[in-house]
């Protein structure tokens, strides 16, 4: 039995999570294992119900399950709240409380979607790399922080153990792929980045079979657009990983295609990298593929069932090959289908 906490969240979150739940139910039926799904509020939805973004009950449920599935959080309705009470602050808190120090963001271009990318097909064809973003350290958590009428300040700090553990995970994953890791930093300007680079190279001594190279973050942003196929595994800090993985999203055609896994020593959370998209919330227009692909990552990393993960990816590929497109990945002249139509097609392919 697998116990999953479902957190639909805000905006399009409930719509895309519903698609992922439909996939989970189909897989449970097909393979004969039991999946228990327990739903909890989080973010703005939780604030409207309970006056706080992350309740103790939701946090406790997340600590006592096999995996967490999150939709999206935030929206204009809650933007005027103080910084410490915004949905994004709750997201940082749940990552910290669950010890989710590694954020894995794959950038894979499906052959059927070569035309959806803003780059030339010959540039993006075959792109398939994985970003390891450090998630609980760096500038998002560093102290001191604040602002007044004259200045604002944040502090970027990394401790040795934080760099060591994310680097080790990246090297271990690279061994399963093409055995190439690129560590991305700004060591020519930032002392904290030079420290990052030093520690990554120390960890690399235990992985001599994996090729390691370094790249400055500004160059990396350019290279991801110029020649994305050169990358296999990227490891980088919280801030740089946040930015670079969104750039990677555009070469795949849409942020609606990109899943993610946030993992720690004992817990894991899976979510699409896109936001709550309040402009289309409730309209049945959202692309569920990123959330469904996040379920594939769940089966791979939390449940150690890579064959089932592969089934999900193949169902997505077959659905796209059949010509179905949601609005975010539809070319001019193509008819966009709804969230539910896209979900139902993927579920059908899973059952075939």
> Which positions are catalytic?
140, 186, 218, 242, 246
Token code pair at residue 236: 């980088």
Distances (CA, A) of 60 to 54, 101, 317: 10, 18, 36
Alpha helix locations (H) across the chain?
A: 13-31, 44-50, 56-63, 87-98, 121-124, 160-174, 191-204, 217-226, 238-251, 289-301, 306-321, 339-351
CA dihedral 140, 180, 172, 95 (to 10 degrees): 20
The radius of gyration of the chain's CA atoms, rounded to the nearest angstrom, is 20
> 251 near 228, Cβ under 8 Å?
yes
Distances (CA, A) of 82 to 78, 87, 217: 9, 10, 31
């Amino acid at each position: 039995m697998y116990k999953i906490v479902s957190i639909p969240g805000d905006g399009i979150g409930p719509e895309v999570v519903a698609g992922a739940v439909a996939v989970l139910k189909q897989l449970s039926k097909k393979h004969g294992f039991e999946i228990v799904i327990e739903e909890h509020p989080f973010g703005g939805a939780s604030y409207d119900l309970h006056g706080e973004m992350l309740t103790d009950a939701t946090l406790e449920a997340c600590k006592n399950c096999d995996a967490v599935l999150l939709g999206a959080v935030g929206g204009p309705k809650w933007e005027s709240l103080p910084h410490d009470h915004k949905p994004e602050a709750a997201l940082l808190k749940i990552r910290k409380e669950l010890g989710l120090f590694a954020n894995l963001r794959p950038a894979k271009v499906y052959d059927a979607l070569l035309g959806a990318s803003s780059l030339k097909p010959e540039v993006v064809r075959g792109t398939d790399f994985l970003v390891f973003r450090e998630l609980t350290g760096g500038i998002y958590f560093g102290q001191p922080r604040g602002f007044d009428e004259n200045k604002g300040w944040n502090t970027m700090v990394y401790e040795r153990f934080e760099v060591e553990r994310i680097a080790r995970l990246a090297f271990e994953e690279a061994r399963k792929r093409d055995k190439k890791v690129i560590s991305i930093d700004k060591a020519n300007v930032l002392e904290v980045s030079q420290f990052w680079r030093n520690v990554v190279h120390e960890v690399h001594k235990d992985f001599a079979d994996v090729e390691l190279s370094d790249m400055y973050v500004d160059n990396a942003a350019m290279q991801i657009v110029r020649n994305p196929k050169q990358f296999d595994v990227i490891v980088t800090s919280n801030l740089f990983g946040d930015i670079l993985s969104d750039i990677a999203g555009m070469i795949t055609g849409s942020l609606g295609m990109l899943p993610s896994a946030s993992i720690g020593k004992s817990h894991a959370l899976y979510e699409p990298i896109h936001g709550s998209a309040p402009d289309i919330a409730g309209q049945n227009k959202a692309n569920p593929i990123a959330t469904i692909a996040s379920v594939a990552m769940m089966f791979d990393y939390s449940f150690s069932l890579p064959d089932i993960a592969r089934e999900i990816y193949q169902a997505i590929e077959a659905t796209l090959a059949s010509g179905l497109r949601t609005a975010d990945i539809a070319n001019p002249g193509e008819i966009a289908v709804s969230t539910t139509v896209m979900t139902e097609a993927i579920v059908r392919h899973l059952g075939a």
